[in-house]
Amino acid sequence: MVAGARAASPEPDGALTVGILDLQGDVAQHAAALAELGYRVRLVKRPADLDGVAGLVLPGGESTTLSMLLESTGLFDAVSAATAAGLPVLGTCAGLVLVAREVLDGRPDQRVFGLVDIVVRRNGYGRQQQSFEAEVPFGSGEAPPLPVVFIRAPLVVSAADGVDVLAALEGVPVLVRQGSVLACSFHPELTADRRIHAMFAELCESYAVETQSVGPGRPSGARWLISG
């Protein structure tokens, strides 16, 4: 187990618990999406709430407000420590801003976790397009396009070589992954397509296996399956 990691334990029924940052923003829809996939959800309001979670969603909202609240609750340092130990993260919209390396047009005192080597521009899709819907190619050639909803979305200005661009709209990355961090400039919780949450779920499952020691009575290589 990586130093600093807080073991992600499954419940007796095998379901993992996934945390959702609950300081401000779009929490309920993420909770519903994860519950639909068979996860237990923990609303994370203080550092102790991170104990035992297999992943953390940073929802949309307002990244400047989230930054302030993360500081005042002590969660900024706690989340930084947990992610340094490998805790998977799904950052959506304002959550993408929070995981970026650098933010343009942010507040000077706005803090970010710097988990994904991207530069983003807050509200970068501009005023006339504050909210819009589109579809982007996603997955293998056969897979249906991914419906995407943008609400005052951040624009990914650049992505370093180590960043996987998993979906793009007009050449601009809208879904990126670096290590166990997945981030998108749109709101996957607002459509019925669960492929983004399912992809995040896979990262959570791997993390849960990595942070548990395989002891006697537990077959090596066993995975906890998600119920439902």
Rg, Å, the chain Cα set: 17
Answer left, alpha or beta for residue 139, where phi above 0 means left and psi between -120 and 50 means alpha.
left
Closest C-alpha among 159, 189, 146, 182 to residue 25: 189
- Least Å distance, CB 149 to ligand GLN, is 9
**Residue of 29, 80, 123, 212 that binds ligand GLN (CB under 6 A):** 123
- The interface region with ligand GLN, picked from 13-21, 56-64, 188-196, 204-212 by CB under 6 A, is 56-64
Q: Please say if 184 is a catalytic residue.
A: no
End-to-end Cα spacing for the chain? 28
Q: Please say if 202 is a catalytic residue.
A: no
3-state secondary structure of 215: coil
For 137, phi and psi rounded to 5 degrees? Answer: -65, 145
**Residue of 93, 118, 182, 190 that binds ligand GLN (CB under 6 A):** 93
Name residue, tokens 């940073």: 58
**Residue of 97, 116, 163, 196 that binds ligand GLN (CB under 6 A):** 97
3-state secondary structure of 155: strand
Based on the shown chain and the rule CB under 6 A, indicate whether residue 120 belongs to the binding site for ligand GLN: no
Based on the shown chain and the rule CB under 6 A, indicate whether residue 191 belongs to the binding site for ligand GLN: no
Residues 124-153: x where in contact with ligand GLN by CB under 6 A, - otherwise, as a string: ---------------------------xx-
Write down the catalytic residue from 36, 102, 170, 187: 187
- Least Å distance, CB 78 to ligand GLN, is 21
Nearest CB to ligand GLN, comparing residues 16 and 183: 183
- Least Å distance, CB 76 to ligand GLN, is 16
Closest C-alpha among 219, 161, 150 to residue 191: 150
DSSP, residue by residue, 159-174: E-TTSEEEEEETTEEE
Distance of CA 82 to the CA centre of its chain: 13
**Residue of 10, 61, 88, 91 that binds ligand GLN (CB under 6 A):** 61
CB 42 within 8 A of CB 79: no
Contact residues toward ligand GLN (CB under 6 A) are 60-63, 93-94, 97, 122-123, 151-152, 154
Residues catalogued as catalytic: 93, 187, 189
